[in-house]
Structure 1
Amino acid sequence: MNKIRILFASLSGSVIEWYDFYLYGTATGLVFSFLFFPSHDPAVGLLLSFATFGIGYAARPIGSIIFGHFGDKMGRKAALIFTLIGMGGSSFLIGLLPTYEQIGIWAPIILVLLRLIQGISLGGEWGGAVLLATEYAPKGLRGLYGSIPQLGVPIGLVLGSLSLTVISYFTSDTQFLAWGWRIPFLFSVVLIGLALWIRSGIEETPAFKQQKEAGAIAKIPFLETVKTNWKSVLHAIGLKIGDGFFNVFLMSFILSYSTVYLGYSNQVALTALTIGCATMIISIPVVGYLSDYIGRKLIYIIGLILLFILSIPYFSLVDEGASWLYIMQGVMLGIIWASIFATQGTLFSELFPAKVRYTGLSFGYQVAAAIVGFGPMIWTTMAESFGPSPWVFGGFMMGGIILSFILSLLL
């Protein structure tokens, strides 16, 4: 099987999944709190809109069980086709959804349902994309191959945030809220068609074929995972918690934090996010390649230490001006967090045997994602109570990083 096509199949779906998922996160603070959750108190509308953002994260463990079952029973390819359809289809429908002013309470209800479908689909996509790459990887290059689907996160987010940035530059605030924000959601249908075409031409991974030929397919993958690999599941959850909160902040909540609480414009906030993601596109494959030579554990530990040390300085400096916001987003998101994330897919997949690898990898990762997904709700409350305090926000991040650091030493 052509390795380049395999990597494109892994990456293309990941790009679309994260484009759709983070497009929602970007629009949450800029659009949804006004159009779908109107309130006399802006903080209440923002809190409600971020609750739907968190619901998408909460649904991801459900998706990991559903698609992990298909992936370990029927094959990686079959599961990944369905995750694409679910994710892209729900995003397209969000672009057509009437607002609260037009259909009343049904608007936020339908939005929540579509967000649930997004979360469930993404819960199955990430693990499958990682396995598609790592189970085809040549000997000695598993870290590099495992980092390629991780590129879907920054590329997808750059596409999502860049599309909103461009539209916001060429429309007035009224036009942007009226129809401009819908264009990136509707564009999902084009990306879905491209990714389905790429994925339809690939074969099952060698690891799954060997399991099937040997008759070693798990009857109920989730039950077998929690019965025989529960320690690995808990390990994956704990390892993801620390960087996960910072991840959600740096790639989503930063838009609301910088505009609502620090007074930056939408354009400045989106530019800072784009700079961080563009830096990730370079750093992720470089770190993935290095992990095959110096070890994934060492890179993971160094990344956590740097996140811990720079937690309070980050929140202190982003308030000093747009230039500092750009620099810190590039460093914290584009280099330090990206280094951790580059190794995560391969590192977590190596915790589980092929028989339950899709389910175990996905479930552990997505449970952690469900926990950190409610970070924006917590931070909105914190900001209302304490303001954008570097000590409060930095201290919160440091607590989660300590947990992940301790577990990383036990790998």
Structure 2
Amino acid sequence: MKKIRILFASLIGSVIEWYDFYLYGTATGLVFSSLFFPSADPAISIILAFATFGAGYAARPIGSLLFGHMGDRIGRKASLMLTLIGMGGSSFLMGLLPTYQQIGIMAPVLLVVLRLVQGFALGGEWGGAVLLATESAPKGIRGLFGSIPQLGVPIGLVLGTFSFSIISALTTDAQFLAWGWRIPFLFSIVLILIAVWIRSGIEETPEFQHKKENGQLAKMPVVNLFKYNSKDVLRIIGLKLGDGLFNVFIMSFIITYATTYLSYSKDIALMGVSIGCITMLVSIPLVGYFSDFIGRKIIYVGSLIGMFVLAIPYFLIIPESEILFYIMQAVVLGILWGAIFSTQGTFFSELFPANVRYTGLSFSYQIAAAVAGFGPMLWTVVADRFGPNPFVFGGLMMAGLFISLLLSFFAPDTRKVTLYEEIEENKEIEETKLNQKEGVLTNN
């Protein structure tokens, strides 16, 4: 039961993270562009709205340093409780914001402020959730445990999709723009209360506790990180960059792309994302389980190759029919990206020692995410100039994927060489010595 609660605690925060991510990404194209950034040119409205989407990503690295420092100095649990409040609280308040028509320029200003707070908190959530699971995992199934918080992506996105779909179905277009879009944001408060209750009942991770008891915590984790692990920080940024750009497109910008440039209905676009997410519910834990036997690196390289090969075909095929659109979402988002994301948390975290692991994992991941977060603004400009050109969009994706693919070939196989294993072995040695000492005292 203890391990199950820990897994739920790591998962629930990730669910909220991606629920909020999807709500904001979807609302940006459908609602925020017209209600908060009105313009005579719709393309300008969309560009401005997606700029705020990217601003949230830009705040993530700053949040990752603060919450990473807290997580490496005070504990994983304390940091994760604060990220919950920041994430869900900002989303809830977005649902209460007045529009540009009601209060003028203050409407987009307040939206940007809340988006920055949300991004700031998100910067510390993902890394902490992953460590909560992996640092509590029994030996031999760390990949499986590390994949569980990643399930927050499909669950959060399905919840976000369902909430938008059901509200859209029950309201007219005018009602949806007037008040319907607010309901999914306000629902965040329910998820926060559940998450706080679950996380309040867990203990600190064994890895962190071991370091704390032995006086091995870093006084300034970020200094230690760049002094001894700067190479791994740069490695993770590159490994994440390519799939991050493609991921933001197929999970968020695809709604705007499909409705604005491919003439699909909003319901079809939402269904495509839902199908990809449902596929991930199966692929993520399966891949996580097998990564403990065949290694994270093999899966990572193979999946990047698959995404690279399908980058241009994806954009050629999705305009052809609804069915082909759904199939490509299932393959590219559900299977290939699902496999990458399943292994990412465990793979990246195994590169760092426990005393800087929260900071290192969070900061490097969020730097790459910050770059990818401005992808929708770039794609809006590209689409406005070239239209939905498969070779332009596919070429952009291939360029990012090539960087990640190249670096993945030189990354270590962390299933064989990992700092987790060294710590666990030290624990076993210390426990053996302690038992032997107690046995000698007893005999005497």
Alignment of 1:235-384 (within 5 A): 235-384=235-384
Match of 1:198 in 2: 198
CA distance in 1, matches of 2:289, 2:318: 31
Match of 1:409 in 2: 409
Q: Residue 247 of structure 1 aligns to which amino acid in structure 2?
A: N
CA distance in 1, matches of 2:175, 2:97: 16
2:80 corresponds to 1:80: yes
Q: Is the partner of 1:29 in helix, strand or coil?
A: helix
Q: Residue 395 of structure 1 aligns to which amino acid in structure 2?
A: G
Match of 2:45 in 1: 45
**Conserved 8 A contact 1:21-1:118:** no
CA drift of 1:20 comes to 1.2
Q: Residue 283 of structure 1 aligns to which amino acid in structure 2?
A: S
- Please list every run of 5 or more consecutive structure 1 residues that lacks an aligned counterpart in the other structure: none
Alignment of 1:113-128 (within 5 A): 113-128=113-128
Q: Which moved more, 1:354-363 or 1:154-163?
A: 154-163
CA distance in 1, matches of 2:47, 2:145: 39
- Runs of 4+ with >4 A deviation: none
Match of 2:102 in 1: 102
2:71 corresponds to 1:71: yes
After superposition, give the CA deviation of every residue in 1:1-60 in whole Å (9 maximum; x if it has no partner). Answer: 710000000001111121112211111111100100000000000000000000011111
CA distance in 2, matches of 1:149, 1:54: 23
CA distance in 1, matches of 2:333, 2:87: 25
Match of 1:143 in 2: 143
CA distance in 2, matches of 1:121, 1:8: 19
CA distance in 2, matches of 1:220, 1:21: 31
Q: Which moved more, 1:163-172 or 1:99-108?
A: 163-172
Alignment of 1:6-21 (within 5 A): 6-21=6-21
CA distance in 2, matches of 1:322, 1:99: 34
Alignment of 1:150-189 (within 5 A): 150-189=150-189
**Conserved 8 A contact 1:236-1:348:** yes
CA distance in 1, matches of 2:301, 2:24: 31
Match of 1:214 in 2: 214
Q: Residue 93 of structure 2 aligns to which amino acid in structure 1?
A: L
Q: Residue 327 of structure 1 aligns to which amino acid in structure 2?
A: I
CA distance in 1, matches of 2:321, 2:390: 15
After superposition, give the CA deviation of every residue in 1:113-142 in whole Å (9 maximum; x if it has no partner). Answer: 000011011110000000000000011100
Match of 2:423 in 1: none
Q: Is the partner of 2:40 in helix, strand or coil?
A: coil
Match of 2:440 in 1: none
TM-score between both structures, scaled by the size of structure 1:
0.99
- Once the two structures are aligned, what percentage of the paired residues are identical? 69
CA distance in 2, matches of 1:347, 1:261: 37
CA distance in 2, matches of 1:391, 1:21: 28
Q: Which moved more, 1:269-278 or 1:13-22?
A: 13-22
CA distance in 1, matches of 2:402, 2:271: 30
CA distance in 2, matches of 1:22, 1:272: 14
After superposition, give the CA deviation of every residue in 1:297-335 in whole Å (9 maximum; x if it has no partner). Answer: 000000000001000000001111211111111111001
CA distance in 2, matches of 1:350, 1:328: 32
State the aligned residue count: 411
CA drift of 1:372 comes to 0.6
